[in-house]
Amino acid sequence: MQVVEKKSVMTKIDGNITTPIGFQAGGIHCGIKRKRLDLGYIYSTVPAITAGVYTTNLFQAPPLKVTQDSIEKEKKIQAVLVNSGNANACTGDQGLQDAIKMQSLFAKKLDIPDHYVAVTSTGVIGVHLPMEKIESGINEILHDDYVGATQFEQAILTTDTGVKNICVQVVIDGKTVTIGGAAKGSGMIHPNMATMLAFITTDAAIAYEDLSAALKEVTNQTFNMITVDGDTSTNDMVLVMANGEAKNNMLTKDHPDWTTFVDGLKVVSESLAKQIARDGEGATKLIEVQVNHANSEEVARAVSKSVISSNLVKTAIYGTDANWGRIICAVGYSGQPINPEQITVQMGPITVVEKGLPYSFDEEEAKAYLQNENVQIFIDLHQGESSATAWGCDLTYDYVKINASYRT
């Protein structure tokens, strides 16, 4: 009897965080910012199993503490409330009370328990929230005029130049499962969670422990592999809400379609991570650094992040200068056990270093390649079988302009 191997199918669709069954979102201008939308929400018709990863900054903002405590109670939430323009960070006990009040007000509006609401904030640090404006916004936000994924995507932005979203579908137990995502992030972006917020919704039925493990694994391969400027912020996190409305059999690591789901989660996360990296403040290019043939994945990650974090590499790419010496320098100070005499470096298709030594190349051809919006750097360590990829952007004059006047 012939055995037919089952092939997993993943489809990228024109959707968003409200495409999975049972999710709604919206956004409103409540007055935190002068004109733009600044208060957004996601709502599931039923409580959703929820997992999160959070900033590593020791100055963790009050909203994150409230959200983590809420998820811990039942491993599920039903709504997320986000404000932009004010981070509610370094605001002491008043900041904590404000975050709790935000949660309570929105829970009452939705008629759900307080701990079913996650809250988060992004924006200027050290300023108390304008709670009267936020309360007024909460009272109005569920109105039909403010419903829509686009409104939510716009409401969470700070210095971003545009919204960030993606949606994919996979087949689990013969049923269509949808995974949608939205994110914000432009500056203060660095590996190990930075000033970014990412929200992922799915109608998959999945066990909490396995969802949490999958999110951590995928985050290490995606969100923790981007950098814009080396700064790690106080507020930021990735949340995944899974409400089970696709009615598949419960997903666990032992489910035959487990890898299909994880692959979908990774595609969504990687896309959002790359959109954040490309939208770095003042950026003109997305830079991808791929390290191959390392002794371990940890080595490959460390080397790729070292190169993508180098301001000298980033400024060289901005200036379309094929200065491979800056790349070699960043590899060398990554702190990893590498053999400098074995390294090969390519800028796109152009080899610039071979076995640790300069390789003859056409400077004009290299300059022309670096003028592309997407620039790839390939580093072959010739030491093992592991690989990793990191993403970032070039460093421009506009980055200084934007951040020199961020509060004004």
CB 205 within 8 A of CB 249: yes
187-201, 356-370, 393-407: which has the highest mean pLDDT? 356-370
Model-level pTM?
0.86
Q: Tell me the mean pLDDT in the region 1-8.
A: 41
Q: Tell me the mean pLDDT in the region 9-13.
A: 92
Residue 230 has pLDDT above 50, yes or no: no
Residue 145 has pLDDT above 90, yes or no: yes
Of residues 6 and 52, the one with the higher pLDDT is 52
Q: How far apart are CA 114 and CA 292, in angstroms?
A: 48
Residue 8 has pLDDT above 80, yes or no: no
Could you tell me the domains of the chain?
10-278 (3.60.70.12), 286-404 (3.10.20.340)
CB 237 within 8 A of CB 272: no
pLDDT at 213: 96
The answer to which of 71-85, 209-223, 224-238, 288-302 has the lowest mean pLDDT is: 224-238
Of residues 383 and 57, the one with the higher pLDDT is 383
Banded model confidence at residue 35, pLDDT cuts 50, 70, 90: very high
* 161 part of the active site: no
Over residues 160-217, the pLDDT tens digits come to 889 999 999 999 999 999 999 999 986 544 444 335 899 999 999 999 999 999 999 9
Pairs from 102-105 (Cβ < 8 Å, separation ≥ 24) = 102/63, 102/129, 102/131, 102/134, 102/138, 103/66, 103/70, 105/134, 105/135, 105/138
Over residues 306-328, the pLDDT tens digits come to 999 999 999 999 999 999 999 99
Q: How far apart are CA 268 and CA 278, in angstroms?
A: 16
DSSP-derived pairing of the beta strands 344-347 and 374-380? antiparallel
Q: How far is CA 26 from the centre of its chain?
A: 20
User: CB-hemisphere CA count at 13 Å for 354?
Assistant: 5
Over residues 84-113, the pLDDT tens digits come to 999 998 899 999 999 999 999 999 999 999
Report the chain's mean pLDDT, rounded to a whole number. Answer: 91
Please tell me which residue in 195, 222, 227, 232 is annotated as part of the active site. 195
